[in-house]
Every structure is written in structure tokens, then in C-alpha cells.
Structure 1
Amino acid sequence: MKEKIKKTAISIFNTNGIANVSMKQVADILKISAGNLRYHYKTKETLLAVIYSDMYAETLDYILPENTYITLFHFEEMMLKFDDLQQRYCFFFNDIVHIIKTYPEIAKQYEKSNIVRFKDARKLIDYYIETERIVPENDFINYNKTIYNIWMTSTFWQSQKLAINTASYTVNKCRSIEMLWSILLPYLTTKGLEEYKQLRKFVKLPAN
């Protein structure tokens, strides 16, 4: 029953937004009593915490593989997995500011996990520098800021599409990976650009 409640809640949250859904509504759609729902999840925060725990568990494989040569496709693969996660849990990313303000414990967990991700991303960037696919950091290039820009773009990709939805404006009518590459491409070396060209030759960017 717990799993059914969770899946139903995610679907309703995705459709209506977490702020617009009460636990009673979740119970009504499941055709169970509010007391039955509270038996499994006492509050909406309890339910959201379990959903977030599942989301975080899915991201644990977004790490550097060991003892192997890591291509630029690893970056793309990680970002595509995150894009898929965002689409399946779109309510979380559309309502992220509300969630952070309303549920402080979840906000702490989310911040902590992102700090870990920033460190992992820096390791990947440093590896690409060492293998001469990305230019070294200098007085004009700060890769910690580049990583943060990539995080902001990927995290708020879903919500920005809601904010800028004009049909004639086409800049954001693409998958997030295309926008993320536009951030990273200027930093690629000649070797890195050649690898990227080979990547695009054999792996096409996904359609909207």
C-alpha cells in the first residue's frame, strides 16, 4: 500500500503541484480514509521525504567510474539521466523554492546532496583537464562557477519552460542537454572538440 500511495501522490503532485494537493485529496483519489493514509504517512512532509529519498537513491550512480578512461559521453549520460529524473518528478523541480521554504529538513538534505554533487562534478572537470579535453583553469576561468551554472540550468530547466512558454521564442525549445553543452563547449580544447564531434557523429542529441 505504501508504494501505491507514493506513486499516486507523485502523479497528483506532478499534475497539480505539491502546494495545491492535500493529503485528503490523495486519500480520496486512492479511495481510502484519511486515517488509513496517515497510518502509512503521517504528514505530507513524511510522504515527500520518502519520495525525495527515492530520488536521491537514483542519483547515486552519477559518479565517476573507476579504472577506466572517461569520455565526454559520461557527462552527457549523467545529464540525460538527471533530465529523465526531472520529468518523472517534475513537481519537485517546479516547486523547489516552495519545498525549500516549507520543508526545512528536506531542504537540508537537498543542499547537502548538492554540495556532494558539486565536488563530484569538480573531479570530473579536473579529470577532463588532466586528459587535455578541457582547457586549464586560469584568471578568467573558474570551473566551480561553471559547475554552478550547469547545476542552475539543469535544476531549473523544467520550471523555466513554464515561465517562458511563448511559441515564437525557440531558444529554450530543446532538451536541457543541448543547453548544458552550450555552457561547456567553449572550454573544450582541440582534442576535446574532436571527441565531441565524434560523439555527435555516433550519438545524436535527443529530440524534445
Structure 2
Amino acid sequence: MKTKEKIILKSIEMFNSKGISKVTIRHIANELGISHGNLGYHFKSKGLIVSEIYNRMVEEINNLVLPPNSESLTLNHYNILLLQVLNFQKKYIFFYLDLIEIFRLFPEIAKKHEKTYTLRIAQNQKLFQNFIEQNLIKPESQTGTYNRVIHTTWMLINFWISQQWVFQTESPVLQTHFTLRQLWDLLIPHLTEKGKIEYQNLNL
């Protein structure tokens, strides 16, 4: 394994266990048994390490996103996607626990995340439109309802880890299925009869 890859993997491990503010470049170098200069050759700052990790996160999550124009997407596909996203996030716990701090320390990552947000909102809008066309969810009774549902879904996905962490002071165990049900609670009121039947057949 190349040194750059070792640095990234060790950084993720240390950020997850200690938090981003308590880990320095020297700490990472010491854990890897390499010199500070050697690490600096690959990454001149902690911000560049975090930025590289974020780029990888986006690339990885992009592979989970369902194709926006598919005409055969089901609620089961949506359920699988949500569960995959929640499990993916557990690999990068530090990012979601330290989200605000990361944005304050590294504004360029905040800008990247804003672009990611815009992309995800657009993808979900197409997904919801697809569900309407398949008669899985009802047409909007009030303009903007589904945009609010999508935005609330995004907020829950970004902050569920920190919310659970607050209430578990010793050896936190992240309850992904609890959060999965919370996400479904946002959509259930909008399901059609066909959608309700499909939902009842999900393995939750």
C-alpha cells in the first residue's frame, strides 16, 4: 500500500476515534512510524487530508445514488439506498460528529458540501417525481411539500449520528434502523394505497 493511502486510512481511523480537533499531522505521522516531513510531502496540512477524505466520501456515496431517470425504481430500492447511506456514514463518524467544526476550520469543504447538497436535492426531487408517476406517493396537495420533506430528510441524514451520540455517553452504539424508520416516517403520510402495500412488504 502506498504511503499516501496509508495516511488517509490512518487519518480516518484517528479522526473517528479521537475527533478531528485532537489529531495533528504529527500524531498521524507518529502512528504510521514515518517522519513529519514524509507526511508533509504528501499532505502539507490537515485541511488537505480532510479535503481528500471528503472527495473520497463523495465518490463513494455517488456509487450508492440511484439513477435519477429510472422508470422502475421502487420503494424497496429507496429503502436499500437509505440503509446503504446510513451504513456508509458509520465509516466516517468523525465527519458527522464534527461537521460544524470542519466547516469552520476548512471553508473550502463547506463550499464543496453545499454543492453536494444542491446535487442531492435535485436527485431526490427527480426520485419523488418518479414515485408520483408510479402512483407510489400522492401528488402534492400544496406546492413545496415534497421539497420540505426532502430537506428534512437531508438534515436527519446529516445529523442523526450526532443526535444519537449525545444520548449515549458510554460506548455509543449507532442505531441505524431507528433512523431508517424516522426517515420513513417522513414519507409514510404521503403514500398512496399502492405505496402503502409496497411499504408493508419492506423488510424493516
Question: Which residue pairs with 1:15 in the alignment?
Answer: 17
Quote the offset at 1:110 in angstroms.
Answer: 0.8
Quote the offset at 1:173 in angstroms.
Answer: 8.1
Aligned ranges 1:161-200 → 2 under 5 Å: 161-165=164-168, 174-199=177-202
Question: Which residue pairs with 1:33 in the alignment?
Answer: 35
Among 139, 143, 158, which residue is 2:146 paired with?
143
TM-score, scaled relative to structure 2? 0.90
Identical aligned pairs, as a percentage? 37
Using the TM superposition, name which of 76-85 and 38-47 deviates more.
76-85
**Structure 1 unaligned residues grouped into runs of 5+:** none
Question: Which residue pairs with 2:137 in the alignment?
Answer: 134
8 Å contact 2:19–2:98 — kept in the other structure?
Answer: yes
8 Å contact 2:132–2:139 — kept in the other structure?
Answer: yes
Q: Residues 14, 166 of structure 1: CA spacing in aligned structure 2 closer, same or farther, 3 A cutoff?
A: closer
2:117 aligned with 1:117: no
TM-score, scaled relative to structure 1? 0.89
Question: Which residue pairs with 2:4 in the alignment?
Answer: 2
RMSD of equivalent CA atoms: 1.8
Q: Counterpart of 2:41 in 1: which secondary structure?
A: helix
Q: Counterpart of 2:201 in 1: which secondary structure?
A: helix
Quote the offset at 1:87 in angstroms.
Answer: 0.2
Quote the offset at 1:198 in angstroms.
Answer: 1.8
| Distance in 2, Cα, partners of 1:67 & 1:119 | 14
Quote the offset at 1:47 in angstroms.
Answer: 0.6
Using the TM superposition, name which of 173-182 and 107-116 deviates more.
173-182
| Distance in 2, Cα, partners of 1:116 & 1:146 | 16
Question: Which residue pairs with 1:96 in the alignment?
Answer: 99
2:24 aligned with 1:43: no
| Distance in 2, Cα, partners of 1:118 & 1:140 | 16
Question: Which residue pairs with 2:80 in the alignment?
Answer: 77
**Structure 2 unaligned residues grouped into runs of 5+:** none
| Distance in 2, Cα, partners of 1:67 & 1:114 | 21
| Distance in 1, Cα, partners of 2:39 & 2:18 | 19
Instruction: State how many pairs are aligned.
Output: 197
Q: Counterpart of 1:54 in 2: which secondary structure?
A: helix
